[in-house]
């Protein structure tokens, strides 16, 4: 066990050492947002150069005000709490009221339908004072429509703790991460990214106990993976009934839930420019080879290896239930998904089927002999303040308060003996069995400026990661190694993009429909279905986005010469 813990510690240490820790509103428009005590903030008062022996003056609290804050509703089951009303929201409300004299109300937005729901809130002028989204294109669209408060004027004076925490942006040397989304022409900032502590993205998982019953080893090639699924279907090693076996489960978000398969078919010799320009709203449909990856999924489906109901699954719930009930043999997801306490895939599976095992594999080898897969950017979720906010000052003060180490630390690790134990000076996280249960890993839906555990020290972070799962450490070590192997770093091009915003939801919906239709098509119809679908998808805004990206990339390269 010590060897395995050391292994993951070394992996994390290496990773951290490489990656590091209508028209637009004018400045005056932003300052005019709100009324009276809830107006945008004035500059912070300068400190007086008093004698150091003097007692510091007590600073009176500002006049009471209120803010609303978005929180993701992940629809988690198993008795999880209301994301807007639970122990942690109560803790936040009490502390913020005491320290800032601000009342906080949380507003739930579905993690799986965030674009639709956020669009509706923004259009109605009822969006929370602090909003968040994983779609940079969506945030850019709100910016271009004049829907966001311009933040650069407040960063130095009102967000010092946030700026210090986010730190330097190693993907863009010379720039702090808080300025990652800065307009390179005007210097304006309308949204700020969260910081990812780990950049591992995705892994493939399989029922090892099923393989053991069939006398099969862990698949190391695409063909071995395919053969294992066929064996699952034909021999029913779990004894769940031949008609109930689901060799491979996914959802209608095929590009994510089959990503390691699809990536293995993409031309590995693509230039950075080709890959970046032709990746539209995180969809790689147009990259050479991707179509053949979808064709392989089509073969899997027509051979009865993929859940025939996948296209109806708009979120993870149904797929998760198949895994937990013990009828699913394999799936692709976040690198640590089965080992997380929420949704508790391995935990619940073993409750239902003692001795069941889910392990990571890395079998999909591309033409260059690599098991290529994407890595996350060190900047993740984007948060912003809508122009309709009636309390910009309160929103800014809340964000900076949340960025203080003691506040985000408590939200991440909770109470000793309940959500963590201290072992060798390191908090070892564990699932709570009462109202202090966390709806998302380390409460990331409340600590919105951070994704991943941060203890304020690189070594402590690595040790805590190794001990933060209630499963054998070797499971986590292998999944992490598989997710990082031949990982492709995110491509960061520091240009301002606008074209994708209005088309984001349409292209997302049409893309999901295209993928589902192509996977389920009769083999003889596949080429027609795919080609016609891609033509429609391109005509629905993708070509306009590609043209902008090509022009911006050329401008960026020219500016570097």
Q: What is the DSSP string of 444-510?
A: TTTSTTEES---SSHHHHHHHHHTSSSS-HHHHHHHHHHHHTTEEPPP-------TTGGGHHHHHHH
Rg (CA), the chain: 24
pLDDT reported for residue 77: 52
pLDDT at 95: 98
Instruction: Report pLDDT for 103.
Output: 98
The pLDDT score that the predictor gives to residue 344 is: 92
What is the predicted pLDDT for the residue at 41?
Answer: 52
Q: What is the pLDDT of residue 44?
A: 38
**Domains recognised in the chain with CATH numbers:** 1-38+62-199+375-463 (3.40.190.10), 202-372+490-560 (3.40.190.10)
* Spatial distance between the Cα atoms of 481 and 206, rounded to a whole number of angstroms: 16
Q: State residue 37's pLDDT score.
A: 36
pLDDT, residue 25, reads 34
Please give the pLDDT value at position 76: 63
Nearby residues of 212 by Cβ (< 8 Å), 6 or more positions away: none
pTM of the predicted protein model: 0.73
The token duo for 424 is: 């060798």
Instruction: Give the integer Cα–Cα distance in Å for 101 and 315.
Output: 38
* Average pLDDT per consecutive 10 residues, the chain (561 residues; last block may be shorter): 40 37 33 37 41 58 95 72 93 98 96 91 97 92 96 96 93 90 92 92 97 98 98 98 96 97 97 96 96 98 98 95 98 96 93 98 98 92 97 98 97 93 87 85 92 86 79 90 93 91 93 98 98 98 97 91 76
pLDDT at residue 466 in the model = 73
Closest C-alpha to 123, from 384, 497, 387: 387
H-state helical runs in 37-106: 87-100
Q: Are strands 131-133 and 379-384 parallel, antiparallel or unpaired?
A: antiparallel
pLDDT of residue 45: 38
| Amino acid 35: pLDDT | 32
What's the confidence (pLDDT) of residue 173? 82
Q: What share of the chain is helix, strand, coil (3-state, %, to 5)?
A: 45, 15, 40
Instruction: Give the E-state strand segments of 11-150 in sequence order.
Output: 65-73, 102-110, 131-133
């Amino acid at each position: 066990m010590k060897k395995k813990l050391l292994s993951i510690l070394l992996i994390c240490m290496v990773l951290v050492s490489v990656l590091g820790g209508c028209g637009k509103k004018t400045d005056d428009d932003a300052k005019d947002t709100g009324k009276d005590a809830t107006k945008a903030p004035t500059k912070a008062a300068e400190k007086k150069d008093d004698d150091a022996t003097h007692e510091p003056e007590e600073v009176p609290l500002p006049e009471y005000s209120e803010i609303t804050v978005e929180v993701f509703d992940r629809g988690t089951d198993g008795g999880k709490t209301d994301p807007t009303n639970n122990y942690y929201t109560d803790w936040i409300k009490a502390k913020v009221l005491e320290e800032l004299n601000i009342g906080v109300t949380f507003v739930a937005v579905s993690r799986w339908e965030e674009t639709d729901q956020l669009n509706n809130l923004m259009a109605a002028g009822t969006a929370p004072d602090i909003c968040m989204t994983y779609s940079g294109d969506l945030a850019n669209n709100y910016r271009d429509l004049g829907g966001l408060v311009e933040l650069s004027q407040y960063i130095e004076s009102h967000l010092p703790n946030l700026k210090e925490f986010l730190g330097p942006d190693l993907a863009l040397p010379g720039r702090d991460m808080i300025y990652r989304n800065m307009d390179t022409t005007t210097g304006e900032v309308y949204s700020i990214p969260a910081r990812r502590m780990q950049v591992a993205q995705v892994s493939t998982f399989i029922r090892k106990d099923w393989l053991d019953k069939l006398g099969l080893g862990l698949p190391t090639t695409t063909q071995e993976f395919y053969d294992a699924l066929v064996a699952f279907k034909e021999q029913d090693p779990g004894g769940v009934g031949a008609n109930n076996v689901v060799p491979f489960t996914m959802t209608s978000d095929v590009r994510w839930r089959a990503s390691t398969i699809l990536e293995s078919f993409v031309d590995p010799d693509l230039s950075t420019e080709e890959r970046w320009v032709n990746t539209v709203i995180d969809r790689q449909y147009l990259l050479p080879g991707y179509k053949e990856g979808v064709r392989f999924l089509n073969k899997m489906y027509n051979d009865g290896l993929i859940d025939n109901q996948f296209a109806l699954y708009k979120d993870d719930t149904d797929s998760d239930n198949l895994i937990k009930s013990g009828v699913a043999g394999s799936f692709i997801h976040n690198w640590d998904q089965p080992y997380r306490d929420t949704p508790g895939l391995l935990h619940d599976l073993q409750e239902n089927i003692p001795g069941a095992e889910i392990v990571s594999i890395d079998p999909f080898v591309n033409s260059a002999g690599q098991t290529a897969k994407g890595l996350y950017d060190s900047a993740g979720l984007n948060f912003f303040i809508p122009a309709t906010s009636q309390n910009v000052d309160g929103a800014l003060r809340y964000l900076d308060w949340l960025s203080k180490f003691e506040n985000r630390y408590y939200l991440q690790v909770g109470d000793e003996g309940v959500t963590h134990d201290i072992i060798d000076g390191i908090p070892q996280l564990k699932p709570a069995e009462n109202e202090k249960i966390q709806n998302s890993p380390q409460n990331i839906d409340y600590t919105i400026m951070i994704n991943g555990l941060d203890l304020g020290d690189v070594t402590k972070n690595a040790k805590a990661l190794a001990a933060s799962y209630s499963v054998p450490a070797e499971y986590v070590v292998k999944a992490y190694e598989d997710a990082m192997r031949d990982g492709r770093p995110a491509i960061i091009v520091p240009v301002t993009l606008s074209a994708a915003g209005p088309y984001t939801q349409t292209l997302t919906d049409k893309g999901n429909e295209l993928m589902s239709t192509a996977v389920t098509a009769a083999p003889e119809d596949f080429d027609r279905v795919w080609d016609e679908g891609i033509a429609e998808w391109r005509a629905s805004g993708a070509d306009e986005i590609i043209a902008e990206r090509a022009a911006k990339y050329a401008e960026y390269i020219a500016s570097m010469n």
